[in-house]
Amino acid sequence: MPDIEICPDGRSLILKYADCPVYYGLAWTGDDSEVRQIFAEELDRTLRYFVQEHVQRVLRGAGEGHFTNAFVRPIAVPPHARRMLHGLVCAGTREEVSERVRSHDFSRAAQDTGTEVATTNQVTKAGQPYLFSQERMAATLLTNVVYPVYTRRRYIRHYTPGKWWDCLYTWDSGFIALGLLELDIERAIDCLNAYTTPPGDPQAAFIHHGSPAPIQIYAFGELWNRTQDRGLLEYFYPRLRPMYLFLAGRLGSSTTRTMKSGLLKTWDYFYNSAGWDDYPPQVHVHRHGLEGTVTPVINTAHAIRTGKILQMAARALGLPDDVTDYEADIAAWTDALNRYAWDGEAGYFSYVTHDDAGRPVGILRHASGANYDMGLDGASPLFAGVCDAGQEASLIVRLSSPERMWTRVGVSTVDQSAAYYKVNGYWNGAVWFPYQWIVWKALLGLGHGDLAHRIGRTALDVWKAEVDATYNCFEHFIVQSGRGAGWHHFGGLSAPVLSWFGAYHRPGRLTCGFDTWVARQEFSDGNRRLTAELAGRPRLVIATLAPAPAYRVTWNGQPAAARELYPGVLEITLPGGVGELQVTV
């Protein structure tokens, strides 16, 4: 435990740990406060257990560990009023820390924070009702930070899905980075960077814990389309390519591409193919020891989509060999999915079984004879962008049908008509946001604006209703009840709700599908004018501007079709290719 020196003002202190060369300083505001010590291995259960303790200054819970607690109470807020309290944490020499906690001007910080909040919280009138629920998610995401987390021979501070899990989580953290992109770009970059390794690193292609879903590559695509920062492009591309190559079975010791069908599987690295713990065919594979011979769809779908994202990046960086390399992979996997995994009778793609030599032999079926993959895994080639017209139409019908995957709270993980659908599962029988976000992005690229908007609007409404009622930020929503469930201070996989809010309700935002590369964008005239250079396959884009009587939209100087979803929020239909989009009053 540290030496604790409480400063004369009673609102600051200095800490010195025997095995740490620096001093730490804490300072805070508040009318009444005291310094407590908590001896326990973690705070979550300990603080809940001692929630009624207002007298003791030393609290003892289970396990080893020590926390210094600046306990400010009570915090009285009159009706319809607002109070802002500030805290400072700093490190350095004793002299530096002492000077910092003594001289820090919290009144100036309050002014700066007020200005920042006023700037970043600008929303459309239609978005105002969602603000409370959005602020709860923002606060949850930004404060779900744990320290120390050990990785690559050093300790780091790290964003976690919830403080119940004080460790690395690869796929969750991809969505945390996406959420942070709506709040603080620097923090989003920091979160993304924590899972990459330097080019040529001999130890690891990327930092892996949990489901090996490469969401960091999706987050990188969003980061580029938001910033057009060439430096970030040059930095992250060579760090994300090894993640792709390893999951594609082409780097080092990777075993993901051992089947003669060419389809991918990641069972050797984690039981969970893509984050959905109790997804029915995945459970069946493990229950019957089929990991060596059965491939899901999702690993191949993710590889195709992330290959397309990195291919656009390689094209922007002038790397023609890499562009060709991705094209070969994408073509091979597209052929494999269509040749071996499509089930026209069911209208879904399928888990594929192989013999002991790795040759594909058929579709994995439930005991009823039905396709075992009627759900988001079976629909995942839609977001990979490799479906033909008939396959696309079939999957759109299933995603949008209340008898199949659509529910009052969004898209179900598993088709409700399936024999293996449950009402009491974790993912099975529930609606989660992460794959809804991926499907939503794909729908924009495919031109299905009505369904995309329905997904985004429903998610915002469901989130608002639950947070308004409980103040909790849950993991998922139960189809049967429509209520939130899981961990109650969850950021991670629920973070896409910030992305939908930004896309539909924050002026100064351009949102595109996966196949669009934003080469340049500029909002001006108080967010009443947009000029953007786009490449790829834009199809539908959402331009969120300030409300105005009427907007004129052109693509390469010619009128482009647009509809207004909310005042100032335009869904624009584009023909594709390279061009300039202009939106003016």
pLDDT for 576 equals: 82
At 74, is the secondary structure helix, strand, or coil? Answer: coil
- pLDDT tens digits, one per residue of 179-200: 999 999 999 999 999 999 999 9
Predicted local distance difference test score (pLDDT) of residue 43: 86
Question: Tokens standing for 183?
Answer: 């709040």
Per-residue model confidence (pLDDT) at position 111 = 56
Number of other residues whose CB lies within 10 A of the CB of residue 92: 14
Tokens of 576: 């594709």
pLDDT beneath 70, residues of the chain: 109-121
CA pair distance 390, 399, nearest whole angstrom: 14
User: pLDDT tens digit string along 214-241?
Assistant: 999 999 999 999 999 999 999 999 999 9
Q: How far apart are CA 264 and CA 306, in angstroms?
A: 14
Confidence at residue 117, expressed as pLDDT on a 0 to 100 scale: 44
CATH of 127-506, one of 3.40.50.1950, 3.40.50.720, 1.50.10.10, 3.20.20.70: 1.50.10.10
Instruction: Give the torsion sign (CA, 236, 242, 245, 249).
Output: negative
What's the confidence (pLDDT) of residue 119?
41
Report the CATH fold assignment for 510-584: Immunoglobulin-like (2.60.40)
CB atoms within 10 A of CB 361: 12
**DSSP type of residue 82:** -
pLDDT (0 to 100) of residue 388:
98
Q: What is the pLDDT of residues 357-366, one digit of tens each?
A: 999 999 999 9
Q: Looking at this protein, which amino acid is placed at residue 186?
A: E
Q: CB–CB of 88/26 below 8 Å? A: yes
pLDDT on residue 496: 98
Tokens 């690559």 found at: 152
**Numbered ranges of CATH 2.60.40 in the chain:** 510-584
Where, residue-wise, is CATH 1.50.10.10 in the chain? 127-506
For every residue of 290-342, DSSP letters joined together read: -TTTEE-SHHHHHHHHHHHHHHHHHHHHT-HHHHHHHHHHHHHHHHHIIIIIE
